[in-house]
Amino acid sequence: MDPRLPRCFHAPQNGTVHRELNIRDIAAALQESQGTLWVDIDSTRREQLALLEKVFKFHPLTIEDVLNPVSRPKVEQYEGYLFVTLRVVRFCDDTADPYDLETDNLYFYLGPTYLVTVHAGPSPSVDHVVEVAQRTPDLVSRGPARMAHHIMDGAIDAFFPILDRIDEFLDSIEERVFAKFDEAAMRDIFSVKRMVLSLRRYLSPQREIFNVLSNRPSPLLPPDVQLYYRDVYDHMLRINDSLDTYRDLLSSTMESYLSQVSNRLNVVTKGLSVVATLSVPFVVVSGMWGMNFTKVPLSGHPYGFEIMLVGQLLLGVGLIWLFRKQSWL
């Protein structure tokens, strides 16, 4: 297949699904306005990107969003089609940080008889649906709205493996905090919490997108098709609830970690305070009887040293008894 041409599927009414179309075939299928036409465009290739303006004649603002890699997820109604932007999230395997995420935008032009998907470089969600469409040509015949649903559903389901890994991270962190008290766990707590907050930031606008697609009346989305989008919206709610739970667990784990640090510091401070207090009688007595005076009590006594040593020990034992009586030890 010519890399300058996008991947295409055209299912005419009561006809065979065609998979390889040139630009003239795409324009003719679009002009016929019959059956279902799916065109998948790689925005990193200028020849394919030019189809958005030259053949489909989409609004320049949508093309500007396609060229912007940080476009905000949204759904907009234009004359004759819907423009949808989704944010696809996955773990970045190219870095040493296990908590690093990478994101890509996936764009949809949903018309009455066509679907145009746009992405920069490979897209696992689109590639999976392409493989299914190659094995099951009837998938394309179900209509552009159903095709868009299959791709969007795969993009949202990609969040679930991320949630599974976050669950594993949480189990590991809790073991390090409560069982071993690893002082380096605080960095991982902050890293996972930042990742959870990032996912919630990516997810929030997309939840509104599927709320619109599943509930707002549109001639491009029949009621029987909106049922499928409601299923995706339900997945969004489940993911959002899981992220809220993880955020609460991380906050509780952080508070427990800080409490343990505080308790350990209190124990050390308490021990040092007891040692300092017990040393007071020894220091005071030794200092008083070590003064350079002529007349010092017991200075001439043959057992003066032994008497003072016993007295110091008795004072120390008395202080320990007093501390225990006051429940300070």
Does residue 129 contact residue 151 with C-beta atoms inside 8 Å?
yes
Architecture of domain 270-325: Up-down Bundle (1.20)
**pLDDT per position in the chain (329 positions), as tens?**
566 788 899 988 777 888 888 889 889 888 888 889 999 999 988 889 999 999 999 999 999 999 988 888 999 999 999 999 999 888 877 777 777 888 889 999 999 999 999 998 888 889 999 998 888 878 888 889 999 999 999 999 888 989 998 898 888 888 888 877 787 788 888 888 888 988 888 888 888 999 999 988 888 998 899 999 999 999 999 999 999 999 898 888 888 888 888 877 887 787 777 777 777 777 777 776 776 666 777 666 777 777 777 877 888 788 778 877 877 66
Bridge partners, 42 (sequence order): 119
pTM: predicted TM-score of the whole model, two decimal places: 0.79
Query: Mind giving me the DSSP string for 233-296?
Result: HHHHHHHHHHHHHHHHHHHHHHHHHHHHHHHHHHHHHHHHHHHHHHHHHHHHHHHHHTS--S--
Question: CA 81: distance to chain centroid?
Answer: 32
Is residue 78 helix, strand or coil?
strand
Question: CA 235: distance to chain centroid?
Answer: 16
Q: Where are the domains of the chain?
A: 1-157, 270-325
Q: What is the pLDDT of residue 37?
A: 92
The DSSP symbol for 6 reads P
The candidate with the shortest Cα–Cα distance to 75, out of 238, 224, 201, 214, is: 214
Q: What is the pLDDT of residues 291-300, one digit of tens each?
A: 666 677 766 6
Is residue 84 helix, strand or coil?
strand
Q: What is the pLDDT of residue 81?
A: 93
Q: What is the pLDDT of residue 329?
A: 64
Q: What is the pLDDT of residue 69?
A: 84
Q: What is the pLDDT of residues 104-125, one digit of tens each?
A: 899 999 999 999 999 988 888 8
Secondary structure percentages of the chain, helix, strand, coil, to 5: 60, 15, 25
Tell me the C-alpha distance between 81 and 207, whole Å.
21
Q: What is the pLDDT of residue 13?
A: 76
Q: What is the pLDDT of residue 183?
A: 76
Query: Which two structure tokens, joined as six digits, stand for 268?
Result: 């050390």
User: From 3.40.50.300, 2.40.10.10, 3.30.460.20, 3.50.50.60, which CATH number describes the 1-157 domain?
Assistant: 3.30.460.20
